[in-house]
Chains A and B, each alone.
Chain A
Amino acid sequence: MGEKHLPLWEVFLRSRRGLDHKHVGSLHAADAEQAMQAARDTYTRRQEGVSIWVVRSSDIHASQFEDEAAFFDPAGDKIYRHPTFYDVPDELKL
């Protein structure tokens, strides 16, 4: 294909028992239909999934590495956001 590649797509699969689609990889395809077929042929050969999403990689907006401190570090000392912070009465069976 030389230097001109087909657009990149990200593939998400929902497994038979899974509730949500999980990212499994990426592939090159000219359009959504070709991406869907390539995803089926590349990523579901061993019954890995029962539902496929394909998304143009360029449509994904990702957080940046330099944002890491501002985005994620402040949550580090806020344990009260975790349900385990609260005392649960013994009578309550969880």
Chain B
Amino acid sequence: MSPAHFEYVLRLGDNALIVGQRLSEWCGHSPFLEEDIAMANVALDHIGRARMLLTHAGALEGRGRDEDALAYAREEREFRNCLLCELPNGDYAFTLVRQYVLDVFHRLQFGALGASTDATLAAIAAKAVKESVYHVRRSAQWVLRFGDGTHESHARAQAALDEVWAYCDELFASDAIDTEMSAAGIAAELGTLERAWRAEVEAHFARAGLVLPRDEWRAAGGRSGLHTEHMGRLLAEMQAVPRAHPGLRW
């Protein structure tokens, strides 16, 4: 096992964990009951993936860290998620525009990872891709509804896209770890994913009457542990109980 292999799976697990944590914040607060249940379902799908991926990462690392150790006993700088996942939920339009771009990305990524030479990762991906197919159907529907809805919903969706767009590049930013993992047949090749992703989301945003912002600035850093100011508070809430009661079982 190479250190890059651990790092690669950790990144996948952290993306799932952190956006799952964000989505779970809607539980009990979504705009209506049916939507509240649906949103919690999606959050749990992500947390379920995080459990499998972090368990796998811990096994690859071989230092005895399990899913809980990786989720609850790491510091902010040790997290490897893309910044997009950790941004505050904002309004419902922001949450769902972000979710749409992530859902399409995950459907493509896990679709490709189904053919990974890492058999455990391929099995996790085969399970996750089915969830993502449904997630895209759901979030794509909301993007259309907001974008092509009222003046108010359109304005909120457009504002969401304007912010989200700057964080999307990081999903496809390739470094030495990605290159090594692609060469080993473990990872999905990010350039291929990006082309498919762009074609799909650009067409859908156009259908929803939303305009892509001009590429003016780009945010990145999460995958190397440099997070936004929001990450610390997210972790404080997520880790509070396990840190106060280490090793507690119930």
Mark interface residues in B16-48 (1 if CB within 8 Å of A CB, else 0).
Answer: 000000000000000111110110010000000
Give bound CA distance, A27 to B145, whole Å.
19
A contact residues, total (Cβ < 8 Å): 14
Q: Are B32 and A37 in contact (CB under 8 A)?
A: no
Q: Are A37 and B41 in contact (CB under 8 A)?
A: no
**Interface: B65 (CB within 8 A):** no
B24 CB to closest chain A CB, in angstroms? 15
**Interface: A50 (CB within 8 A):** no
Interface of B is mostly: helix
**Interface: B137 (CB within 8 A):** yes
Q: What are the residues of chain A within 8 A of B37 when measuring CB–CB? A: 38, 41-42, 45
Q: What are the residues of chain A within 8 A of B134 when measuring CB–CB? A: 40
Q: Are A41 and B32 in contact (CB under 8 A)?
A: no
CB neighbors of A among B125-180 (8 A): 134, 137-138, 141, 145
- Please report B residues at the A interface, Cβ cutoff 8 Å: 31-35, 37-38, 41, 134, 137-138, 141, 145
Please provide the 6 A-B residue pairs with the shortest distance between their CB atoms, ordered closest to farther.
Answer: A41-B38, A38-B34, A27-B34, A42-B37, A41-B41, A41-B37
Interface CB pairs A-B, < 8 A, 16? A1-B31, A1-B32, A6-B32, A27-B33, A27-B34, A28-B32, A34-B141, A37-B137, A37-B141, A38-B37, A41-B34, A41-B38, A42-B34, A42-B37, A42-B38, A45-B37
